[in-house]
Structure 1
């Protein structure tokens, strides 16, 4: 498989190592704007660029018949436009706020726990996410996905950083050196707490998931997510 890397920061370099270890070829490493000629021989593009570049990166690939795996967060105000472009060009797309196989199992566990807790008004919901100091957005895309999983399964209507209203989920975002990513959801009452936590030890899990998603999407058309890749539906 020939891969174009859109974004060649820490994640891009980790994806490169993982892809090569799985016998794939990196044919382009792009950190800035690019032209169709730079990626014309790619079987798939993996996008871990910056928020301001993601939409143009992704749609340029669609217009040139290249499926896209994207893990860039902070650009989702243009997500619907990207989806429309993908469909118009009969493309293939997987976006995930987190490609870690363990995190995607954690998403399912979070939704299931929210279903069980939805009728227990004695419990207050809180979330905390911790990442490295280089992370640009807060809360993390993973935290937002977790919050959305709770909202779909409870009476909560939204989320807010730090102090939230009665019908919102408070999310505490911390930035600490050399922390790949930790996410916790806690249900607290006067008598006990119930807490689930996912802790990443390094970025390798994120890179592996992105490469597995790229392997899976070859030959497919449509909009997918990691539930499809991992057969979690």
Structure 2
């Protein structure tokens, strides 16, 4: 069992291993993190995960990177230190996360998909390999929590993939169908607003307060053929 990592008395990596060790009466060693000697905790944890343990599969490494990023974001001081090179872009940007992703050996696309998984049960299914990161990200976009979990209960990975894809496609299709309706409503509001302005101007012009361009038919004058 690889050691847990402690930072200021709290477990930053290995909480589940510690719980399992306590449950089975085993000894779980730990490594105390020293910021002055080891650098930023996010980079240290990611590097330790690659060097100390058997290298996990790529989807697990992406989920580790996402978990580290959320941990950094939860502490204002750590976040300020982490993004000091480019504070405007935040911890999730491609530029800021480059070193972390290099330490975890994952792509930015996998990292983005892992960050989108914010449901504990979906996260567990993705970690166990029951669903892909892409399916996990799509599943978390479904607004109905109970429906998400029902999709995870499909008997095989292939059926879970099909069910999640169909539900996600139905959701996006519904939103695309609603978009023209919303745009039509906005255009109608704009048209009505413009008509109201024209009517108001016409009324003020009748009272002599606004000059309107002359639209009446011309009368013969100098220079016109009679």
Does the TM-score normalized on the shorter chain lie above 0.5?
no
Which structure shows the higher helix fraction?
2
TM-score, length-scaled by structure 1 = 0.29
Bigger RCO (CA 8 Å, 6+ sep): 1
